[in-house]
Amino acid sequence: MKQLSLDTLRTFVTVVELGGYAKAGDVLGRSQPAISLQLKKLEQQLDKTLFVKVGQRHVLSNDGQWLMGYAKQLLEINDEVFRAVQQDPLKGRLRLGIPSEFASTLLPSIIGEFSKRYPDVSLDVTSSLSQNLLGPQHKDDFDLVLALVDPAVSTDGEILRKDELVWVGDIRQPLKTDPISLVLAPNGCMYRSRVIDRLKQQTNMWKISYTNADLYGLIAAIQQGLGITALARQSVPNSLTVLQHPDLPHLGKINICLFNYDTQHPEVSKTLSEYIRMRLRD
């Protein structure tokens, strides 16, 4: 009787949930070729094609969608066994602050897995601009804060990743560069400041056509053809595409930092911190 590898199934599910081999490799600590080899062996074992290529992206085939349901059930049973034998389950309340774009792309995979494993932990999540999350008046409001910090600024946070700031847009919308139309978060957003600073250093015309603090609002505006924006590469949602064009200046790097403040539940804070590190650390 053939047997499925739970390790391979976890790789499969992670690739699907995170939207790509590279992001899954960061989480699982494997190279892209190793990830690809695992999935190819899984396809051979099942004699099914699990992914099809659409443009530059790999998306689930009908057989892949069928397998996804079973894979998640098997992994949940595996994880439930270990939860049942855990001696000291975590309990308590943890207050997490996180930038809105990471709340939309990173948070679902972290919180979903964390909450299933530690159901007695109550998570209180606030999403806002990094500047607001790190304001001294809010320091007592959070136990953990994930925030963006300019590399030129010293920080007492733990640098989890030095990420690239990239231009993003909708591949279905033509790129308008005369002038460059921008959709941006309000003043105080680090992306907004970096974009404006770099555009002012060149001669191309530009304008801000739409402002919204919520990532979903920016995505909707981009998909309606109102313009383009900038995001940390790690936080680019699957619905948007990284853009490269001679009229778009290089935006440089950004530090993604974790701030761990004093908490009444240090083990909870420590455990969630490790989940976040696994998703983000180079």
The β-bridge relationship of strands 180-184 and 92-98 is: unpaired
User: Cα separation of 79 and 112, whole Å?
Assistant: 13
Long-range contacts formed by 128-131: CB under 8 A, 24+ apart: 128/97, 128/99, 128/100, 128/213, 129/99, 129/100, 129/185, 129/186, 129/188, 129/189, 129/190, 129/213, 130/99, 130/190, 131/188, 131/189, 131/190
Per-residue pLDDT of the chain (282 residues; tens, 9 = 90+): 788 888 899 999 988 888 788 888 877 878 888 888 999 999 999 999 998 877 767 788 999 899 998 998 898 888 778 766 665 577 888 899 998 888 877 777 777 778 877 888 888 888 888 888 888 777 788 889 999 999 988 888 899 889 999 999 998 888 888 899 999 999 888 899 999 999 999 888 999 999 998 888 899 999 999 999 999 988 888 889 999 999 899 999 999 999 988 677 888 888 888 888 877 764
Which tokens sit at 170?
Answer: 């909708």
User: Cα separation of 138 and 141, whole Å?
Assistant: 5
Q: Which pLDDT belongs to residue 276?
A: 86
Q: Which pLDDT belongs to residue 230?
A: 95
Q: Which pLDDT belongs to residue 88?
A: 58
Consecutive H or E run containing 124: strand 121-127
What residue ranges define each of the domains in the chain, with the CATH number in brackets?
Answer: 6-85 (1.10.10.10), 91-282 (3.40.190.290)
In the block, residue with structure tokens 């530009």: 206
